[in-house]
Structure 1
């Protein structure tokens, strides 16, 4: 960037301020995430105050779902205490899934959700959970093999620590990874990649980013889930989200099969079709 087009923003100072702020400190956000937001804001304006406003707004939208999370230290303790009791582990996971709207909506259909998906894809040996949020706590309902490699990616380190504890007590490798997958997409070769209720949020972060991101995921099946209505239930979203998937995959030789549920629709994208 030429000096003429450089902004006067002190990016390092803003990153440090946001990472250490009362609002975000406990999340332990990757510096790369904030740097990426700054870089895209600088493409819009050179005004430092405006760049900072855009970054703060985008960051809030990006991590708002993390605020008000469970106490992850306590959760890890509860999981370790229940390590030899599968029913108690499932009960704890059910409570965790109930804490967020996106996973709480899935509770009534949890018994059928993964069997329907894996009947289509086959039970994965290598599974990617992209921007996983609390989804790994559905592990007791997935019926995965103990030999499964389950990679879960998220921005929230305390959450990932709890997920790794869950994996460990279920005799799975500790593969919950602190990584901004938009900045650095996983390079793992997988059977199935889950991208649940995030594609529309990625669009809000960076318009048009899903196409390149989906192309860079090395999985035979990419399962993209999107809500069929807004959180209040007042506005249908299915056609809007169907267009998002159609526009993202336009011109690509991918086979797409829709699997509908009550509150969300899963687009099963076969990338090697």
Structure 2
């Protein structure tokens, strides 16, 4: 992967040294927090990867950017709470060959409350008919979905 678009990135870009991206790869870190985006833009020269930060509200859709891989980690529940349907619209508008989406498996209090099943059903409804295959990986605190465009990625 030579280009990554990290939507609702939070602190994810601080993990760049462990991502094994090749030198010269591009990584666009997008977050609604303008201060955070500026920090990543400022740190761009600290890694051999081309890191850029961008402030953007995802309820209005994705930024105008292309990438081989899009990361959307633990963000859809927040988008759906902010504006019902925003997560589905965002997923449907992404053109990358690979989109990695994750959902929390436990509440903030650490309890399992059927979240895996609820979010699994939600995601499958969101991507139904999109032409993407789904690969699932479950971890103790998170479920990760690799949405791969059929015929590419």
Q: Which runs of 5+ in 1 are unaligned?
A: 1-123
Q: How much does 1:125 deviate?
A: 0.5
Query: In structure 2, what is the equivalent of residue 170 of structure 1?
Result: 47
Query: In structure 2, what is the equivalent of residue 188 of structure 1?
Result: 65
Change (3 A) 1:229 1:151: same
On the 8 A contact 1:187/1:218 being kept in 2, the answer is no
Q: How much does 1:172 deviate?
A: 3.4
TM-score (norm 1): 0.52
Question: How do 1:11-26 and structure 2 match up within 5 A?
Answer: none
| Rounded Cα–Cα distance in structure 2 between residues aligned with 1:135 and 1:151 | 11
Query: In structure 2, what is the equivalent of residue 125 of structure 1?
Result: 2
Question: How do 1:36-185 and structure 2 match up within 5 A?
Answer: 124-185=1-62
Q: Which runs of 5+ in 2 are unaligned?
A: none
Change (3 A) 1:174 1:144: closer
Q: How much does 1:184 deviate?
A: 4.0
Query: In structure 2, what is the equivalent of residue 250 of structure 1?
Result: 128
Query: In structure 1, what is the equivalent of residue 85 of structure 2?
Result: 208
On the 8 A contact 1:127/1:190 being kept in 2, the answer is yes
1:261 and 2:139 equivalent? Answer: yes
Pick the structure with more helix per residue: 1
Computing the radius of gyration over CA atoms, which structure comes out larger, 1 or 2?
Answer: 1
Query: In structure 2, what is the equivalent of residue 111 of structure 1?
Result: none
| Rounded Cα–Cα distance in structure 2 between residues aligned with 1:205 and 1:169 | 34
Q: How much does 1:218 deviate?
A: 2.0
- Cα RMSD for the two superposed structures: 1.5
Residues 100-124 of structure 1: CA deviation (Å, up to 9, x unaligned): xxxxxxxxxxxxxxxxxxxxxxxx1
| Rounded Cα–Cα distance in structure 2 between residues aligned with 1:266 and 1:154 | 20
Q: How much does 1:174 deviate?
A: 4.5
On the 8 A contact 2:22/2:49 being kept in 1, the answer is no
- The number of equivalent residue pairs is 150
On the 8 A contact 1:187/1:217 being kept in 2, the answer is no
| Rounded Cα–Cα distance in structure 2 between residues aligned with 1:159 and 1:167 | 13
Say which SS state the counterpart of residue 68 (structure 2) adopts.
strand
TM-score (norm 2): 0.90
On the 8 A contact 2:33/2:55 being kept in 1, the answer is yes
